[in-house]
Structure 1
Amino acid sequence: MKLYAPSTIREIKDKYDFRLSKSLGQNFLTDKNIIDKIIEESFIGENDLVIEIGPGIGVLTAEAAEQAGKVIAVEIDKNLIPILKDTLSQYDNVEVVNRDILKSDLNEMIAQSSLINGKSVNSVRIIGNLPYYITTPIIMKILEDGVKADSITIMMQKEVADRIKAEAGKKAYGALSVAVQYYCTVSHVANVPKEVFVPQPKVDSTVIRLDIRKEKPVKLKDEKIFFQCVKAGFGQRRKTMLNSLTGVCGLSKEQVGQVMESIGIDSGRRAETMNIDEFANLANSVYDKIRG
């Protein structure tokens, strides 16, 4: 059964009287080349655990199951559970769970599947076609929770992918860019036109792979202060860093100026011009200042 074929999708909808949910951002992928590219670039091995977010009717799930030791498909829509159990019935290495990924403990899920066929899991790969409206919260939950995964290969709205990939000085560069790049290296996998989905969304998509870093790219004295500085800096993009950081950690404008001067950063700089190393130096200097 070609689960990606529009005719198959129609048959499944009719058989189960299933109605696509706009509120859950359900758009099913129909391009086999893109499906193959996602699986290929996820680097799934035979003793790997795959966690798929939002499997839909199982298009990606089935292909992942061909490569992985085990696949856990996490689906929030209870109406899709019987469909998935049908479309994936031939795979004994697939577990379908009806959960909200934002309320799930992925590390517990991983711990419960630490053995595959009596062997320790080699790698944990997270894949998915994420609903556009909730892409950023899902990514940041995985990263901030310290989920013990090796990579995240996901499809998302092109605009969000552009923000994640952006470098300092680019228009799309922002707090999300810094945060994701702090936790991961980012690789472009594929551009996906809106025409290859059922139903067709209003915007194009992009697939990226986030390889979770074993070591962070910068050394921080206090991670919380680092993210406070990043958030404040991009909070009002037209403000200079001097003005944006005033009040952060209780620092006065004069103290912020002293901090910036001490590390050779012009107080007239704006956040979008500062790379992750400069934000790290700034945060470490703020830490030193408040510790006095």
Structure 2
Amino acid sequence: MNNLSNINTIKDIMKRHGFTFSKSLGQNFLINPSVCPRIAEMGNANQDFGIIEIGTGFGVLTVELAKRAKKVVAIEIDSKLIPVLNETLSEYNNVKVINEDVLKVDLAKLIQEEFKGMNVAVCANLPYYITSPIIMGLLEQRLPIQSITVMVQKEAAQRLCAKMGTRDCGAVTAAVCYYSDPKVLFQVSRGSFMPAPNVDSTVIRLDIKQETPRNVENEQHLFKLIRAAFSQRRKTLANPVSSLMGIKKEVVIAALAEVGLKPTARAEELTLEQFILLSNQLVKEA
């Protein structure tokens, strides 16, 4: 198979298979040949690993993963791409393609059945519209995976990899920090895609923590607190936390004081550890 990031190759495949890009599925295929090898190399694709790929396009990243990893299971929602992938991936016997919505796949079962005796990592060029649901789904399931290496919209990468206690952080930042150690790998310009999106992209890697913080009294309460605090990020967090969690404002302010925070504190000023301490204090007072 010719270079799958070559525009002429892509156009030829599209013509022969009658394929057209789907805006609703956020399809933008890579035409920069240097990107996918870097994602594979930096995303743990080696003979000790099995790789889950989410969204295949014509298989340009899939091929690079298959060259390096012991096994690749690619999950692709678009049924129109299956005959294309049967062609582009025909020479790789270590690739299995599943035509499903990744949000509906039992990934724990898939890992158990497909990757026995292997370390597992996720690699993907994620559609922008569904980046957060996929990443949060992977993290919250506490899957036995080592890392998640994904290409996402540049602004999403800034939020996902922001440092807690800074203006760029949000509720998703706290969740990512809770479950993993995030890292920005490299930038990808909008001209690297066909069709070109209106924004640039960034490749990031989330190295999954072996253990999440142990000092959390109630994990569900913690994330409810974080979501409430960031829901109105310009306001002091006592206001949205009080209204959305049904806690008297004076109780929230007292809890803030108890953990050494000012009553005027805003969500973006707190570290993850401070959110944990505040959540524990509110649970204690309840």
TM-score band, normalised by the shorter chain? Answer: over 0.9
C-alpha displacement at 1:54, in angstroms? Answer: 0.2
- Is the Cα–Cα contact under 8 Å of residues 222 and 284 in structure 1 kept in the other structure? yes
SS of equivalent to 2:152: strand
Q: Find the partner of 1:242 among 229, 234, 238.
A: 238
- Structure 2: which amino acid aligns with 1:262? E
* Count of aligned residue pairs for this structure pair: 285
Q: Does 1:216 align with 2:217?
A: no
- Which residue number corresponds to residue 266 of structure 2? 270
C-alpha displacement at 1:168, in angstroms? Answer: 3.3
- Structure 1: which amino acid aligns with 2:123? I
Separation (CA, whole Å) in 2 of partners of 1:112 and 1:69:
15
C-alpha displacement at 1:251, in angstroms? Answer: 2.2
- Which residue number corresponds to residue 174 of structure 1? 170
Of stretches 197-206 and 27-36 in structure 1, the one that deviates more from structure 2 is 27-36
Identity within the alignment, %: 42
Structure 1 gaps, min length 5: none
Q: Does 1:159 align with 2:160?
A: no
Separation (CA, whole Å) in 2 of partners of 1:262 and 1:218:
20
Q: Does 1:253 align with 2:249?
A: yes
C-alpha displacement at 1:47, in angstroms? Answer: 3.1
- Is the Cα–Cα contact under 8 Å of residues 187 and 209 in structure 1 kept in the other structure? yes
C-alpha displacement at 1:65, in angstroms? Answer: 0.4
Q: Does 1:66 align with 2:62?
A: no
C-alpha displacement at 1:126, in angstroms? Answer: 0.4
Separation (CA, whole Å) in 2 of partners of 1:213 and 1:186:
10
Q: 1:256-287: per-residue Cα shift (whole Å, max 9, x none)?
A: 12211111111111001111111011011111
Separation (CA, whole Å) in 2 of partners of 1:68 and 1:204:
28
Separation (CA, whole Å) in 2 of partners of 1:166 and 1:88:
37
- Is the Cα–Cα contact under 8 Å of residues 238 and 270 in structure 1 kept in the other structure? yes
Q: 1:129-185: per-residue Cα shift (whole Å, max 9, x none)?
A: 010000011001111112221111000100100101112343321111111111110
Separation (CA, whole Å) in 2 of partners of 1:215 and 1:144:
13
SS of equivalent to 2:34: helix
C-alpha displacement at 1:60, in angstroms? Answer: 0.5
- Which residue number corresponds to residue 105 of structure 2? 104
Structure 2 gaps, min length 5: none
- Which residue number corresponds to residue 126 of structure 1? 122
| TM-score (structure 1 length as normaliser) | 0.95
CA RMSD between the two structures = 1.2
| TM-score (structure 2 length as normaliser) | 0.96
- Is the Cα–Cα contact under 8 Å of residues 173 and 272 in structure 1 kept in the other structure? yes
SS of equivalent to 1:210: strand
- Structure 2: which amino acid aligns with 1:240? T
Separation (CA, whole Å) in 2 of partners of 1:243 and 1:274:
15
- Structure 2: which amino acid aligns with 1:113? E
- Which residue number corresponds to residue 25 of structure 1? 26
Q: 1:225-267: per-residue Cα shift (whole Å, max 9, x none)?
A: 1101101110111211221221455421121122111111111
- Is the Cα–Cα contact under 8 Å of residues 125 and 150 in structure 2 kept in the other structure? yes
Separation (CA, whole Å) in 2 of partners of 1:213 and 1:105:
21
Any residues of structure 2 matched to 1:33-44 within 5 Å, and which? 33-44=34-45
Q: 1:59-86: per-residue Cα shift (whole Å, max 9, x none)?
A: 0001100111110010000000010011
- Is the Cα–Cα contact under 8 Å of residues 228 and 245 in structure 2 kept in the other structure? no
- Structure 2: which amino acid aligns with 1:287? V
